[in-house]
Structure 1
Amino acid sequence: MTRYPISLAVACLAAAVLVAGCASAPDRYYTLAAPDGPSSAAPASGAPVFIELAPVAVSERLARPQMVVHQAGGRSAEVALLEQHRWSSSFENELRDALSSGIAARLGAIDVTKGGRQPSTPAWRIAVQVRQFDAVENTRVDAALSWTVRRSDADLGATCQWRTSEPVGHGIDALAQGAQRVASNASDAIARHVAQLQQNPGATCTTP
């Protein structure tokens, strides 16, 4: 049996420990889509409801799959780009999918952005702009959105502005869950606005 010097064995063991310590943690992926089924924002009607949700407009710094996080207690202008904590797609696409499914579920509607309705059938066209989306680690998620809702067979549109601050617990998982709640609450607010316009096309935005 081949015998190695003790010093060589110790060196090999140290090298193995060093390699194991240098192994990177696996990437974590998150979604903004709510896991639970939302309640309806408007009574069901016999006629189908169609919505067209345009691509969500976000600032360039957010238009990426990596989570962009403010450090708690850090300088307000400093952010961290988390390479190992990512949305399942680029943030603006992830948010658009979450809003689309959330609004459609609350209204009992169909998102026909990619087709699926007759040209003569009106749809509610929704355009959303993210004016603020700041995730502060271990603290909160601050968000401000504005949107325009217009029926495809009408010239006038209605606008609304919405702001929220969602407290979160410790860690990136809690931060992602807070962002998910923000997307769900935004879906609620937009769906309520559309429901108001269904009842009264001249209604002003009363979303809190």
Structure 2
Amino acid sequence: MNTIRARGLAWVAAAMLAACASPAPRYYSLADPDAETGRPASTGGTAGFIELAPIAMPERFARPQLVVRQKEAGAGPEVDILEQHRWSSSFENELRDALASGIAQRLGAVDATKSGRPRGQPVTRIAVQLRQLDAVESSRVDAGFSWTVRRTDESPAVACQLFVSEPVGGGIDALALGAQRATAQLADAIARSVTAMQANAANACQR
């Protein structure tokens, strides 16, 4: 009887622990689904190689967890780090991968960010800095970026900035989609600046 009772208690304890266990994390991607499905290049198909440097960003964003602000918090300093809602890799790597593939697709270029390029081939080097990211639940995603573009066979560099504000609906999924759309806007803007630079346009940062 004692053995049966002990087994019963053990089963109840296991069931209680399972009930109290945290739900499995949800994972999100910044990759542009239009780019992945082969959207035609939007900048005239600039051929060549691109390399994207590691994204510079404040340390508080360099983590896999989503960092969000509750709508009720207004402009206050409090943010939430969501353990159960994560990017598929650390945010700086997620953003870099999404931008590198998105820019390459828009330009009709080869992404040499990780694979390298043939010796002697010129490459367009891109460096991006995340200056601001404010994800407000049930409201919007605000993001500010700056970047430079330089060709290895040319000395002048082009420096540009972009601020985007994406309205979002309720829920964390909506915030992740808003960040994804902001990343796609940034990829569009960088691709246009590369094309304008190569065409020697007077204002390579014009939207």
1:72 corresponding residue in structure 2: 71
> Following the alignment from structure 2 to structure 1, what is the Cα–Cα distance between the partners of residues 102 and 44?
16
Distance 1:17 1:89 in 2: 32
Partner SS, residue 147 of structure 1: strand
Gapped regions of structure 1 (runs ≥ 5): none
Superposed, which structure 2 residues align to 1:45-194 within 5 Å? 48-74=47-73, 76-194=76-194
Aligned to 1:42: 43
Higher Cα Rg, which structure = 1
CA apart distance, 1:25: 1.1
Give the stretch that moved more between structures: 32-41 or 155-164: 32-41
Q: Which deviations, in whole Å up to 9, do the C-alpha atoms of 1:62-96 show, x marking residues without a partner?
A: 00001111111115200011011100110000000
Identity of paired residues, percent?
Answer: 56
| Contact 1:41–1:195 (8 Å) recurs in 2 | no
Cα distance in 2 for partners of 1:142, 1:133 equals 6
Q: Distance in 1 between matches of 2:62 and 2:164?
A: 20
In the TM superposition, what is the alpha-carbon distance from 1:147 to its structure 2 partner? 0.2
Correspondence for 1:33 among 28, 31, 40 = 31
Amino acid at match of 1:44: G
Unpaired runs of at least 5, structure 2: none
Q: Calculate the aligned-residue CA RMSD, in Å.
A: 2.4
Shift, 1:12, TM fit: 9.8
CA distance in 1: counterparts of 2:91 and 2:70, whole angstroms: 19
- Structure with higher helix content: 2
